[in-house]
Amino acid sequence: MVRKLKNWLEVARVIQYLKVREKREGGFSLTPELYPDIEDTYYAIRTLRLLNRKANQRKTENYLQNIDWSQVNSPKTIYMLAYLHIRLRQPLKMSFLRKQESRSLRNNWTPAFAGVTNLELLEVPLNLGYPPSLKALLCHDWTGSQTLDAMYFTDEIHKLLHKPVKPFDTLSSLKLHGQENLQALRKKISIFLNHGIGFDEQEIIQWIHSCQNGDGGFGFYPGTTSFMENTYCGLDILLKLKSSPLEINSCKEYILNCQTKSGGFRRAPLSFPFIESTFHAVAGLFMLEEMERGENHSRLR
């Protein structure tokens, strides 16, 4: 799959863009002047692994050892740090891409590249030796939270640790309103699927289709400006529902048109490149590749 991706973009430029942003002391940041950031480090390492590359392990270990745990107080940040600790100790040969060289992507697909395969995560909590602060945070019960972000990342933590998702105290805040922005909708659909909650898949697919613009990207809502994060969310939902964009080729062109000379990707063709946008773009191209190979579903299914 990496080989085919090279036909679409210069993978080496993406890797170089990320490597330049890896700090001497470990971690990644948007510019050389900034301190390393958890989110930038998370998205950089996820992107490198998608491209079958590893960050500098010694530097990453040093970065993780110097985390200020007093500032870690949300399921999102906890999930990202747990992911980084797992990936730091995981051989690259067990990565998502290597598995796909020998078996169908469809058989191992995990939504949004957020989870990992069972083989990769068996007994991970027992073997990794998490820092005590992270262990305590991973044991915290977040199921009473009412915010969408907390509910979504609580599920992602359990999936990352290969544990069953726990039922929330209430799901009343998760009602689908029919016409929601793609970023919130992606999280709700993920939670619905995780917990076996039924919904009208065709209605969701049609709504996402209506959010695709003439430039191939997706807006928050129909008729709004295309951005990379919305395009990623739209593709992720469609893939989970075994569907695809109405215009796959124009979506691919939109993503590729957002790549800069530095190798990174912008949120939109005329904006500044970000590490998060680069992950969204690379993951989006992989999702489009999977959709192109999935000939057994229609555009509305």
Residue (of 70, 53, 58, 71) closest to 26 by Cα position = 58
What pLDDT is attached to residue 255? Answer: 97
pLDDT at 7: 56
pLDDT of residue 171: 72
Give the Cα separation of 116 and 96 in Å (integer): 7
Predicted structure pTM score? 0.84
Which residue is associated with the tokens 């490597």? 19
State the CATH class of domain 2-293. mainly alpha
Residue in the block written with tokens 């210069």:
10
**What is the model's pLDDT at position 113?**
38
Please list, residue by residue across 59-90, b when 16 or more beta carbons sit within 10 angstroms of its beta carbon and e when fewer do: bbebbbeebeeeebebbbbbbbbbbbbbbbeb
Residue 2 confidence (pLDDT): 52
For residue 116, the model assigns a pLDDT of 35
* Predicted local distance difference test score (pLDDT) of residue 10: 79
pLDDT in tens, the chain (301 residues): 554 555 566 789 999 999 999 999 999 999 878 999 999 999 999 999 999 888 899 999 999 999 999 999 899 999 999 999 998 876 654 443 334 333 333 333 333 334 333 333 333 444 456 888 898 898 888 878 778 999 999 999 999 999 999 888 777 668 887 678 999 999 999 999 999 999 999 999 999 999 999 999 999 999 999 999 999 999 999 999 999 999 999 999 999 999 999 999 999 998 999 999 999 999 999 999 999 887 444 333 3
Condensed to tens digits (0 to 9), the pLDDT of residues 139-194 reads 888 878 778 999 999 999 999 999 999 888 777 668 887 678 999 999 999 999 99
Note whether 115 and 194 are within 8 A (CB): no
Structural domain boundaries in the chain: 2-293
Contact yes or no for 17/259 (Cβ under 8 A): no
